[in-house]
Amino acid sequence: MNQTPTIKISCKNLNKIYRSKKTEILALQDINIDIADNEFISVVGPSGCGKSTLLRIFAGLDEATSGDILLDNRVMTGPGSDRGMVFQAYTLFPWLTVEQNIRFGLKLKKMPKPEADQIVEKYLSLIGLTDFRNRLPKELSGGMKQRVAIARALANKPEVLLMDEPFGALDPDTKGNMQLQLRELWENEKHTVIFITHDIEEAVFLSQRVYVMSARPGRVIADIPIDLPQKRGLDLKDTQEFIHIRKKIHRLLHSRDFGNNLHATN
Ligand code: ADP
């Protein structure tokens, strides 16, 4: 018997209008999204369709004009450590080492040192940077920095991991490797993840479901289940099934001028 999945986080009838003295921008219109516990979903859409705005509202860093965000069925207000964030721009503390960056939130929570040590060791090893523990961010490559940012977010055991184009600034090879590592991390540990990207291929590779948004005002125009094997390698991207889903999303984004601004080339 199929069990109904528990909804971890959702947004209901969400609208966002940016108002200034002269202008009014309807950035998000009537967004309804449900994300199950431990589900990995992506949101794709053309540049300016409101993806980052939506993520910031999920994070509590920005407020919706109307509508609600529910976390575990409770209306959520403001930011909290229940949501971990990873952004495109590298956001590590430059004066702290790799290890200290990962430990940062645990120290803030006043977690006893032996317990924090275990968590830090686990994530240093999971991201393959145990030997780089004493390095400063400026001594790391872009990919390494993002691995530390992901480890720092996950070490805090967030209820939901929010990722805003985290691999957007990386070269294609590093980006592919990071996608693979993130997917493996998710397969092994299972987290609820909301991943924002304008890269369709990236969204399909990483996710169980992809929400497709229209150009401004941002609306959800499709909710696409990704029926691909759970265990994924980069060669999956060359399979017929993968290409079929990727093209389907591409067509959706370009239909009825929904995606006339799309930056993605795939
Ligand atoms: P995306 O992440 O999809 O590129 P954004 O969420 O950054 O889109 O922006 C959505 C729309 O809202 C854009 O038209 C953008 O110019 C506008 N916008 C974003 N932030 C602000 C702001 N702080 N004030 C006014 N307009 C904004």
Question: In a mutational test of the pocket of ligand 1, which residue from 29, 44, 51, 53 has the highest number of ligand atoms less than 8 Å from its CB?
Answer: 53
pTM of the model: 0.91
Query: From the CB of 214, is ligand 1 less than 6 Å away?
Result: no
Q: For residue range 168-216, list pLDDT tens digits in order.
A: 888 898 899 989 999 999 998 889 999 999 999 999 999 999 999 999 8
CA–CA distance, 163 with 252 (Å, rounded to integer) = 23
CA–CA distance, 64 with 14 (Å, rounded to integer) = 7
- Taking the CA atoms of residue 131, residue 90, residue 105 and residue 43 in that order, the dihedral angle to the nearest 10 degrees is -120
CA–CA distance, 167 with 177 (Å, rounded to integer) = 10
> Cβ distance 147 to 128 under 8 Å?
yes
Gyration radius of the chain's alpha carbons:
19
CA–CA distance, 44 with 196 (Å, rounded to integer) = 6
> Cβ distance 126 to 185 under 8 Å?
yes
> Cβ distance 55 to 197 under 8 Å?
no
CA of 61 to the centre of ligand 1 (A): 14
pLDDT at 254 exceeding the cut of 50: yes
Q: For residue range 123-151, list pLDDT tens digits in order.
A: 999 888 999 999 999 999 999 999 999 99
Single out the residue of 35, 38, 40, 41 nearest to residue 69, CA to CA: 35
Q: Residue with the nearest Cα to atom 25 of ligand 1?
A: 18
CA of 118 to the centre of ligand 1 (A): 40
Across the range 230-240, mean pLDDT stands at 95
Q: For residue range 15-54, list pLDDT tens digits in order.
A: 999 998 889 999 999 999 999 999 999 999 999 999 999 9
Query: From the CB of 47, is ligand 1 less than 6 Å away?
Result: yes
pLDDT at 262: 44
pLDDT at 256 exceeding the cut of 80: no
CA of 36 to the centre of ligand 1 (A): 27
Query: From the CB of 168, is ligand 1 less than 6 Å away?
Result: no
